[in-house]
Amino acid sequence: MENHNEPLYLYPVWIRLWHILNALFCLTLIITGLSIQFSNPTIMVKFRAAVAIHNVAGVLLSFNYILFFVGNLFTKNGSYYVFEVNGFFSRLKTQFHHYTIGVFKKEAAPFPVTLESKFNPLQQFSYVAVMYVILPLVILSGLGLLYPEITVNSLIGISGLDYTDLLHLFCGFMVTIFMCIHIYFCTFGKTAISNFKSIINGYH
Amino acid sequence: MIYRANIRPAWVVLVLLLCFAIAFALAKHSDSPADAKQTTKHEVQEKIDMTKFKNSETNEQCLKCHGQSKYTYENAESKKMVNKRMYSELIIKRDEFYVSNHKGFKCTDCHSEEYGTFPHSGNLRMESKANCLDCHGGDEKYAKFQFEKIDSNFMASVHSQKHSTDFTCWMCHNPHTYKINARTNENLKETITYDNLICLSCHSDITKYELLTNKEKPNILVKHEWLPNQASHFTNVRCIECHAQNKDTLIVAHQIVPKNLAVKKCESCHAKNSILYASLFKYQIQENIKTKGWFKGLFLSETSTIGPDQNNTLNIISLALFTLTLLVILIHAVIRIQKSH
C-alpha cells in the first residue's frame, strides 16, 4: 500500500527499543494476567509465579511507558499522534472503507506513509486510544492493585479495590484485543512481513 | 496531510494526570476527618447506661473492687484504709461487660455466692469454672449456634489435642467480654478484626502464650512473610480461614489444624471456588441479600476478593468479543488471500 520508492527512516532506535519491550511486556502481562484471573485449575503459569512475573513485568512496562511518553513529548515522533480534528471522522471513514472494501480491490492506500505522517487516521485514533487512554489506566489501576492501601476505601458502598480491579481487567482486555488487531494489520505492508522488518531495521 | 502543531496527546495526559493526582490527594485528605468523626460516633454509641441492666446494682458490689485497677478495704486490726492494686486479669471492665453477651447475668450466677464475703476464702480459687456447654449444651434456644458441634470440632483441634485440659473455651472467649459478631455486625471488617484479635490475644502476647506451652512463640509477621500484601491479608481475612477446617456453614471453625495443613496456596482463595466463600463471606452476602435485596446484597458487599469475584456474564461477553475479533481477522485474511491470487 506504499507508493514511495525511497525507504523512509521512520523508526529511530529508541522507538524500536521501546516497541519491542512494550510488546514483550504486554504479552507477558496478558499470559500471566489470564493465569491469575483463571487460577484454579492452573492455566499456563502457576498462580504464585504468575503474580510475581505479572508484578515485575507491570513495573517494567510502566518504566518503558515513561520512555515512550517523554520521548513523544520532546521528539518529532510525538507529532504523529496529533490529529487534526477538522474532517477527522470522514478521513476515518475513508480509511475504514479502504480496509473493508478497497484493500480487496487492490486500491492504493488513501493515506500513504510519509515522513510527515506515518499513521493512517485509524492507526492514529487507535494508537492514541491505547497509548494515551488505555495504557495509563491499566498502569494506574495496576498500581492500585499492587498497593491496595492507596485506593479509595469505598464509593457508593462498593470497595475502591473493586473498581480498580474491574478497570484493570477491562483495560487489559482492550490491550489484548488491540494486540491481535495490531499484529494482523501489520501484514498490510508491501509484503506480509515487510512491516515487521521495518520495526526491526527502522526503514519503511 | 499537513501536520499542524496542535496539542500532543502526551501533554493532555500529563495535565489529566496532574488533575487526577490533585483530586486523589484531596480525596485522601478529606477521608481522614470523616473517619475520625465516625470513630467518635462509634465511641459515643459504646458509652452505655449501666443502670438499665437489671443486675447492675448487685454486680456493683463486686465491680466496686473488680471494676478498676485498685481496691480499698479497712484493715480489721489497724483500722486503717488500705489501697491495693487489682490483678489485671481480675479486672472486669464495665463498658466491655455490659455490651457483652453475658451482660444480663449476676456475677454469682457463675461464681460462688461465697464471694460475697471479703476477704474471699482461699478455697474459692479451687472453684471449678463452667464452660460453654454447661449452660448452652442441649438448649433448644441456642440450637442454631451448634455448641455441641463446636465442642467436637474443638476437641479435634490442635488447641485441644496438643494442650492439657487447661485449654478451655475461656482461653479464646472471655466470658466477661465476648460478644457475638458475625451474625449481628454488618461491618465485615469489624468482624474480621474482632475474630483475629481473639487469636492474637495469645499468639501475639507472650505472657498468655506461655501459660500453655514452653515452646518459643513464633513471630507471626515473620511466619507470614511469604504472604504478599501482608497487611491487607491480615485486615481482610480471618486467621481461621486458613488455619481451621472450614465447613460450608457460618458456625465459626473451631477445628484449628496443625500448621503443616494450613492453607498456603493462593488459589485456595483467589479462584472461583474460593474457600473464603464457605463461611463468613457467604453468610454476609446472604444476609445482605435478605436485607438490601438482590442487587445491593450481591454487588454492594464488602466481600470482594481478587479471583473469585468473576462475573460469568462478563467472562462470556469478553470471550465472545475476543472470538469475534479473531473470527473477523480470519475472514478478512482469507478473503485477502483469495483476492490476491
Could you report the per-residue pLDDT of B59-115, keeping only the tens digit for each?
988 998 999 899 998 888 898 999 999 988 899 998 889 888 898 889 998 899 899
Q: Which of residues 28-57 of A touch B (CB under 8 A)?
A: 36-40, 42, 47-48, 51
pLDDT attached to residue B42 = 44
A6 has a chain B CB within 8 A of its CB: no
Nearest to B333 among A73, A117, A184 (CB): A184
pLDDT band at B294, cuts 50/70/90? Answer: low
pTM of the shown model: 0.69
A117 has a chain B CB within 8 A of its CB: yes
Total Cβ atoms within 10 A of residue A61: 21
Q: What is the pLDDT of residues B143-157, one digit of tens each?
A: 888 888 888 888 889
Interchain proximity B335–A161, CB inside 8 Å: no
Reading the block at residue B3, the C-alpha cell is 501536520
* Rounded Cα–Cα distance for residues B270 and B308 (Å): 6
Total Cβ atoms within 10 A of residue B147: 20
Where do the domains of chain A lie, and which CATH numbers do they carry? 13-201 (1.20.950.20)
Q: Which of residues 48-87 of B touch A (CB under 8 A)?
A: none
Evaluate whether A126 touches A99 at the Cβ level (below 8 Å).
Answer: no
Evaluate whether A131 touches A73 at the Cβ level (below 8 Å).
Answer: no
Q: At what angle do helices A13-37 and A160-185 cross, to 10 degrees?
A: 130
A163 has a chain B CB within 8 A of its CB: no
Evaluate whether A114 touches A9 at the Cβ level (below 8 Å).
Answer: no
pLDDT band at B307, cuts 50/70/90? Answer: low
Q: What is the 3-state secondary structure (H, E, C) of B205-257?
A: CHHHHCCCCCCCCCCHHHHCCCCCCHHHHHHHCCHHHHHECCCCCCCCCCCEC
Q: How many CA atoms lie within 13 A of A126 on its CB side?
A: 16
Report domain extents, chain B: 49-116
Helices (H), chain B: 9-46, 56-66, 94-97, 107-110, 132-136, 147-156, 158-161, 188-203, 206-209, 220-223, 230-236, 239-243, 266-269, 280-292, 294-299, 312-340
| ipTM score | 0.88
Q: What is the mean pLDDT of chain B?
A: 80
- Percentage of residues in chain A with pLDDT exceeding 90? 45
Phi, psi of B138 (to 5 degrees): 65, 15
